[in-house]
Amino acid sequence: MGKSLIIVESPAKVKTIKKFLGAGYAVQASVGHVRDLPKSSIGVDEANGFAPHYEVIAGKEKVVASLREAAAKADVVYLAPDPDREGEAIAWHVAELVKDKNANIKRIQFNEITARAVREALAHPRDLNVALFDAQQARRVLDRLVGYKISPLLWKNVKRGISAGRVQSVALRLIVEREEERRAFVPEEYWVFKSLLEGATPPPFRAELWKVEGKKPQIPDAAAAAALEEALRGQPCVVRSVEEKERSRPPQPPFTTSTLQQSANQRLGYAAKRTMNIAQRLYEGVELGERGTTALITYMRTDSVRIAAEAQSAAAAYIEGRFGKDYLAPGGKRDFKGKAGAQDAHEAIRPVDVTLSPEDVKPHLAPDQYQLYRLIWSRFVASQMAAARFHDTTVIVDCGLAQWRARGERLLFPGFLALTPRGKEEEGVELPPLAAGDALTMKELTREQKFTQPAPRFTEASLVRELEELGIGRPSTYATIISTLQDRDYVTLEEKHFAPTDLGRVVCDRLRDHFQTLMDVGFTAQMEERLDKVAEGGQDWVALLRDFSRDFDPTLAAAAKAMNQVKTGVSTDVACPRCGKPLVVKFGKTGEFLACSGYPECRFTSNYTRDEKGQIHIQERVKPELEKVGVCPECGSDLVIKMSRAGSRFIACTGYPKCAHTEPFSTGVPCPREGCDGVLVEKSSRRGKLFYSCSAYPKCDYALWDKPVQESCPACGSPLLVEKTSKARGRVLACPEKSCRYVRSLEEGEAAPEDDASLLSLAEPKGDC
């Protein structure tokens, strides 16, 4: 009898699965998708049922040939790509390519890469799920129609090379409209009062002004604040009431794709794309010394909070052994209810083996892998623990015409907080013993001027949450949506918050004006629901596309006639400092810039920034002195440090324009990503803010805002530190890992490495700056 062939997606899985399958199985990888729509044409026959024209992806010919050869030698072919819509599509396309070599094809899937799960899958193979494939195919064709038909309009009228996307464009609209809301916001002044009260038993405690003459206080200006302070000072204070109650706080459910992305962004500072890349490695398997290649987490693309019974039992045993029986959830397990419409085919994200604690595997993991595994492991174990219990106290104090309110809490039983303790900023304050009628002394009375604030810009975490709540896209697509918006220069990430660029605003305006249905949040969410129905077998995918085209095609034709061009620039009210004519915003190959509308008579150009209200500020260009750093490898002329238009340094040949050789300015610090041989180089954002990224980009997207220093962190082992400025300590060296708080002052005579010859080593590979 010949071997059975198992085809998975990634080479990493091949190694993990081979470890526990016998000699009767061959395991090969498709290395992701093997077929797709062509890049050079739309590839969809709209006149014949939207039939797609698929072709083997360029560069995958050898992979396909190898799979066909292996299939011909096997008794049975098991298709085992990831257990989701995209994985089903990969399985379908592989089947189409090998079925003439071996028609005995079965589909298997597993939520975790363990011997038990793989053998269970092999024991229960199934046929390919046509409905699930149709759902992926419908989504792919739909996105192709939108992208390939609208993008040329943007090339013609805005800037060549940009794109529109069915979901991406709606996500852009959310960011743009949040910015519009912020710019239109008019802050209102208000004042808050706080007091320090003391009773017969210490310590003193803080209270906030709650009511004035029985109503919520309205203190709009300094005059009203001063008058109220005068009325409050010197008044006797008496405890009116003390309300005490017990409160329990249950743990959160284990992670879904969306909540993992949000938490990793909030707690670790990881972008959604980075989080998913790390999770993929943990799912596929990492080397754990004597254990060999071991999968650490279950499948990371899931909407479900369901946990398998055996995983709950394993968690209960671990919790009881480490903390005791009292720390178990009631009944020894805790189940969670998923949100409406969640895809429940797979479990929540959890550790494969709960007994493998983060500290057990830390020596074998890269720092970011360890941090993410610890996040997943802790969240899962905590989800199966008892609730934390608190004793809450609310005290109301009468003081003349006003009432003050103080709140306190006392932890009665930590429950899951024994595993995941709160930070100091989350901990409540315990109040002293108080009773109604107790006299209090006001030790301190303070007032503070404040202003109402606009809605904050989206962070990655809050944008992911918003997309999920609105039903836009699917959690597995959020990382791609966000990275595409950044890659197209539609948004920038400023201090961890998304701000739309002028290019992003112009694109959004054009799409809102001419494609109202496509840009409608409700329509996009409804389309996701219809695609889900296709996956469930309740909606014909061709009928879905016909319905979409019925509105889209005439809208597209109208937009082609009515969309106006902005290639000459977007008008501003800023005068050219040279000739006085209005400046315009233009979109060039290297980003946005200001140019004089009097061109070619006036050739003034400049970078610029916008403030919170959207006002333009011209950036002055500082021309640095040229510093020789080497010899050009192409022509032998001197290499010197130059300044880019955006503000970062780069290395260029003095023989320009005859020799156009350039290289990025290297920090000399190796990229800390596992398996990456790049170095960190100086770059600048479109807004002129310096950052440091890997020279191997786009293969590696590691980046830092702060200057890296080649020194490992003594606290967590991070391979580098960063130089930054602290208000409290001045210049410091700090660990870039968000979960590590290592900081060392540089203000006491210790110097950080400077830009000497060691930092002027030229980065490889050479590239365009």
Per-residue pLDDT reduced to its tens digit, 270-291? 999 999 999 999 999 999 988 8
Task: Please report which confidence band the pLDDT of residue 729 belongs to, taking 50, 70 and 90 as the band edges.
Answer: low
683: Cβ contacts below 8 Å, ≥ 6 apart: 648, 664, 690, 691, 692, 693, 703
> In the block, which residue shows the tokens 């989800």?
383
Residue 753, pLDDT score: 38
- The amino acid at residue 231 is A
Residue 19, pLDDT score: 85
Name the pairing type of β-strands 77-79 and 205-212: unpaired
> What's the mean pLDDT when you consider all of the chain?
89
Q: Residue range 336-342: average pLDDT?
A: 71
Is 200's pLDDT higher than 80?
A: yes
Residue 675, pLDDT score: 81
- The amino acid at residue 16 is T
Q: What is the spatial distance between Cα 192 and Cα 451, in angstroms, rounded to a whole number? A: 10
Residue 292, pLDDT score: 87
Give kind and range of the element (H or E) at residue 288: none
Of 154-168, 442-456, 620-634, minimum mean pLDDT range: 620-634
Contact between residue 313 and residue 320 where contact means Cβ atoms under 8 Å apart: no
The answer to whether the bond into 203 is cis (omega within 30° of 0) is: yes
Residue 494, pLDDT score: 85
Residue 760, pLDDT score: 27
The pair of structure tokens assigned to 659 is 């020799």
44: Cβ contacts below 8 Å, ≥ 6 apart: 37, 50, 51, 52, 53, 141, 144, 145
Q: What is the spatial distance between Cα 702 and Cα 705, in angstroms, rounded to a whole number? A: 11
180: Cβ contacts below 8 Å, ≥ 6 apart: none
Percentage of the chain beyond pLDDT 70 is: 94
Distance from CA of residue 123 to its chain's centroid? 38
Residue 295, pLDDT score: 93
Task: Please report which confidence band the pLDDT of residue 607 belongs to, taking 50, 70 and 90 as the band edges.
Answer: confident
Percentage of the chain beyond pLDDT 90 is: 69
Residue 357, pLDDT score: 96
Q: pLDDT for 535-570, tens place per residue?
A: 999 999 999 999 999 999 999 999 999 998 887 789
CA atoms within a 13 Å half-sphere pointing along the CA-CB vector of 170: 25
> In the block, which residue shows the tokens 């941090």?
371
Residue 757, pLDDT score: 28
524: Cβ contacts below 8 Å, ≥ 6 apart: 166, 167, 170, 471, 472, 473, 518
Q: pLDDT for 215-234, tens place per residue?
A: 999 999 999 999 999 999 98
Q: pLDDT for 79-108, tens place per residue?
A: 999 888 889 999 999 999 999 999 999 999
Q: Residue range 384-399: average pLDDT?
A: 96
Q: Residue range 19-25: average pLDDT?
A: 87
Q: How many residues does the chain have?
A: 769
> In the block, which residue shows the tokens 């002052």?
745
* Bridge partners, residue 695, by sequence: none
Q: pLDDT for 739-755, tens place per residue?
A: 677 888 775 444 333 33
Of 167-176, 350-359, 606-615, minimum mean pLDDT range: 606-615
Residue 134, pLDDT score: 96
Please give the radius of gyration of the chain, using alpha carbons only, rounded to the nearest integer.
Answer: 30
- Looking at the annotation, which residues are catalytic? 299
- Across 211-244, b (16+ Cβ under 10 Å) vs e yields ebeeeebebeeeeebeebeeebeeeebebbebee
Collapsed DSSP state (helix, strand, coil) of residue 382: helix
Distance from CA of residue 717 to its chain's centroid? 24
Distance from CA of residue 341 to its chain's centroid? 23
Q: What is the spatial distance between Cα 36 and Cα 55, in angstroms, rounded to a whole number? A: 6
pTM (two decimals): 0.79
> In the block, which residue shows the tokens 């233009």?
586
Is 475's pLDDT higher than 90?
A: no
Residue 727, pLDDT score: 54
Residue 622, pLDDT score: 55
What are phi and psi for residue 133, nearest 5 degrees? -65, -40
The pair of structure tokens assigned to 658 is 């005859």
Q: pLDDT for 667-676, tens place per residue?
A: 889 998 888 8
Q: What is the spatial distance between Cα 96 and Cα 94, in angstroms, rounded to a whole number? A: 5
Collapsed DSSP state (helix, strand, coil) of residue 626: coil
Task: Please report which confidence band the pLDDT of residue 609 belongs to, taking 50, 70 and 90 as the band edges.
Answer: confident
312: Cβ contacts below 8 Å, ≥ 6 apart: 332, 333, 334, 384
The pair of structure tokens assigned to 321 is 């052994």
Determine the Cα angle at 521 with ends 519 and 527, to 5°: 90
